[in-house]
Each structure stands twice: as structure tokens, then as C-alpha cells.
Structure 1
């Protein structure tokens, strides 16, 4: 088991075409504190400054709520963290090796498990071990869905992006989850940053095995101990783990001007 310490930086800059009188945001922009991660320190701040509260949601994610009432034409959300990541070794098992975790085996608004059942049955049949079936699923998804930005959005269900055959890491992760859940394997959505030259946040998955949760990145075709990423949030699908969700009061529109993320091994 490898143990790695990181410093993590996240900054999102927003601009608005008219004055904003109130900005209310829910943030999941610090590392998850649990499972294979231990948060050593964290700090969240905004420009302009706002009223800040913190809590843990039902999935264990660290959530910040920030409300800004100072009039502004731009906003910055920034987090700095130190986290210890334990890179766990994968232990294979012969099929069936099912672990019961109903929260992460059922359908959600974005993942229709029944839709993927015929696909899951074809892939599962003939597989002998968990490692074999996981590699088969990732290979299948990559053969059917090509990475392309601008075709889907955060509200696109997994079966729709599968039918289109195009999508981004969020779509590829949710399709993979749908197939694995249809096989009976608990699988959850993960949002965070990669450890090697991140440019934005990334989505991958974790599968629960008899020895615990193991990571898989179906977009990059990485498995288990290859993944030394830093997870910010886990969820049943994207809706549980989106980094920033908010509303603002203004006569004009707003947009994300720039997103900067950084990871440094220490």
C-alpha cells in the first residue's frame, strides 16, 4: 500500500454582465475525508467574502455553503488543502463476489440500471473473476463511447450518451456504473482531480469489492493502484457530487470565466 501526501489548489472565477446582489453557492471543492483519504487541513474562501457554513452530507462529503450579499460583478471561489491518500492494492476474487450496498446498486435520475441489463448479462457471461469483468466493461464502454466535449451536458442521462456514442468523463463514468450495477456490483460516481498535471476536475468510479472500494478510471483506462487521484466527492451519480451548485440574483447573465486546479506531491 502506497501513501502519498498532496497539496491541492482549486479556483473558479465567475463574471457577470450586470451587478449581482446575492450569490448563494453549495461547494464540494475540498478533498473527501474518509475511506482511503485523510484531510490534514483545508481552507475555503470567496471574493467577495460571504457567510460560510460547513457540514457533511449523507454520503460523507464535506460541503461548504457560502452566501455573498455584497454587490459584485465577479466572484472567486478558492480552496487550498493538504490530504493524505492511501493507494490500496486490489485483491481479485472469483465470480460471483457480490457485496450488498443498495444505495449504489439502484437506478438514479441519470443512471437507468434496467437499460443496461442486457449489455451487462452479455459481458458477465463467460467471465471468471472480478478483475476480468471490470476490464471487459471498461473495454466495452471505450469501444462504444468516444470522448467529445460539447455534445452532452450535466443533465444528460447515461443511456442517452451511450446511444449518442459521445460524451465526456462524466458520461463515460455513469455508463460504466450503469453496467456494473446491472451486474449487481455496487458502483459509485467520484469527482475530484487527477494527480498528474490536472487541468480541470475529473470523474471516475469506485467499485465495492469484498475488500473495500477500489477506483477505476474508465475514461483513461486506468485501474486500481495506477490511480493516485484526489477525490472531492462521491455520489450515486453526478448530481450528488457536482463541485459547485448555486444561484444568483442579477438582471444579467453569469458564466465561468476560468477554472484552475493544481496538485503538488509533498
Structure 2
């Protein structure tokens, strides 16, 4: 179901960003076969234009690309020659701008009609990574009060931002939203999982978004900086709206969208299986440069 209203774009500049995302895996001996999926190609949308994007793989691999169920671009590849290291490097140039806003958001009654519940049911149900316990849901209901859906979504994001400390190492990639909440800390993945879980519990369709964030709001043109993969949330109230609860900011020209899904398990940048000795470790780097 689509909104009957046209989105209104918020004022703001567009940035042109180059992102180089490199993942290297080392093995204890020759690996004979490897099958993988990479979600490292930025999308094209009303907010974002991907000017160039390529995924390079070493050793040489058989590659094909497709769109997954959620609309994300997937680069699937397999390689069968013996190798002790696998390197995947995605290089993209993207123009990104501010988020568009739906001028006439639905109220709670509009979100509860059968057509909406049917069309967005997959984004209303909790998943193992996003489910939140009833006491936390009740606490956020008290914070939201009688606010409408859009204001409620912003209050949820602020509530999560205030209650979870950003702390690397406090959780891992398999941690659930409730584990992060109980710990009181996590990274952008955890903060987004908690936000998505609470938005859904209120009756707002919500999805998990993966991408990149340029870390410097006043970035100089041409200066390469160290970045990392990022995550944020979107909710549907007559149209999709995004917000970055980790940094408590609107989605803007520093955000580059890669993929969307119910939670992180739908959008990992790289996943796969291999036949051979166990992995001895990996190294992931992200370099972001503002070009214009």
C-alpha cells in the first residue's frame, strides 16, 4: 500500500560520497569451495542516487546479482580454486540528500485498518532479534502518551537513545534487543533492533536499515576518513520515514542506504559458507570520502 500524498523533501544539501568497504578473511589452510552473498551495493531512491558501484573479489569468482525479497541488491558469488584468503571490496560513489517526509501521516485508527495490517504484517510482528518484553513496552507506552504515530516514533527513538549507551564490545552480532536492553549498552545494530521492536509493539510497521554514515557533519571535501557500517530504522505512517536513533538525528546526506529487512539477519553485508580449514580471523575496513 502506498501513500496517497506526495512526499515533501526537507531542506538540506546533497553530498557526494565515495565508500570503500573491504572485508578480508584468512584461513588456516587452503579452502576449496566458498559460497557467499554480499549486500554492499547502495540503492537508488528519491533520496539517494548511486552513480557508480562495483564489488571486486579475490580470488576470481563466478558472480551474479539479484534483488532479494526485501528489494536489496545482492551480489552472489562462489569460488572453487584453493585459496587461503578471501577479499571482498565494494567501491561506490553515491549522492545522498535529506529524508523525504509524508505531509499527511496516518493516525492510529488509520494504521489499524485491515488493509494496512495485511500489507505491512511482516514489519509489525516481532522477530527473535527485535522482540521486547512487556514491562519495557509498557514503559514506552507511558512515554508516548497520547501522541500521534509520527510523534510517537520520535519519542521511541529518543527513549532508546537515552537508555542505551553506545559501547563497542558490550554485545555481539547475535545479541537480541532484550539482551542489549538488559545490558544497557550496545552498538547501532542493537539500538536499531530495540527501536524497531518498540515501534512494532506500538502498532507502527518498522524495518531495519543497513548502510554507512559519514562520521563528520562538517567534513572537508576530498578528505578520506575511517567509517564503519551503520544501521537505523524506518517506520510507515502513510509513507516510510527514517531516523537514526544511535545519533538521535534525521536521515540526511551523510547516510548511505544499502539494504532493508525485518532485522540484521535479513541484511548482513557479507555472509557465506566454505569448505576447508577454519577461519583464522577477518579484517573489515570502511573508508568514506566526501567528494562534493
User: One fold, TM greater than 0.5?
Assistant: yes
For structure 1, which segment, 162-171 or 193-202, has the greater mean C-alpha deviation from structure 2 after superposition?
193-202
- Flag structure 1 segments of 5+ consecutive residues without an equivalent: none
Aligned 8 A contact 2:15 2:290 in 1: no
Question: Is residue 60 from structure 1 mapped to residue 67 from structure 2 by the alignment?
Answer: no
Secondary structure of 2:285's partner?
A: strand
Secondary structure, counterpart of 1:233 in structure 2: strand
How many Å separate the matches in 1 of 2:54 and 2:229? 18
- Tell me the distance in 1 between the aligned counterparts of 2:69 and 2:79: 25
TM-score (normalizing by structure 2): 0.81
Aligned counterparts of 1:260 and 1:138: Cα–Cα separation in 2: 26
Match of 2:89 in 1: 78
Provide closer, same or farther for how the CA distance between residues 54 and 186 of structure 1 changes in structure 2, counting only shifts above 3 A: same
How much has 1:265 moved relative to structure 2?
3.3
Superposed CA RMSD in Å reads 2.4
Quickly say closer, same or farther: Cα 1:195–1:139, change in 2 above 3 A.
Answer: same
Corresponding residue number in structure 2 for 1:179: 198
> If the length of structure 1 is used for normalisation, what is the TM-score?
0.88
SS of the residue 2:44 aligns to: coil
Hey, which bits of structure 1, 4+ residues long, moved more than 6 A?
Answer: none
Q: Provide Cα deviations, 1:14-41, integer angstroms capped at 9, x if missing partner.
A: 2222222222211001102345333333
Q: Specify the alignment match of 1:7 in structure 2.
A: 18
Distance 1:7 1:74, change over 3 A: same
SS in 1 for 2:108: coil
Partner of 1:241: 267
8 Å contact kept, 2:133–2:178: no
Q: Which residue of 2 aligns with 1:121?
A: 141
Does the 8 Å contact 1:117/1:179 carry over to 2?
Answer: yes
| 2:210 corresponds to | 191
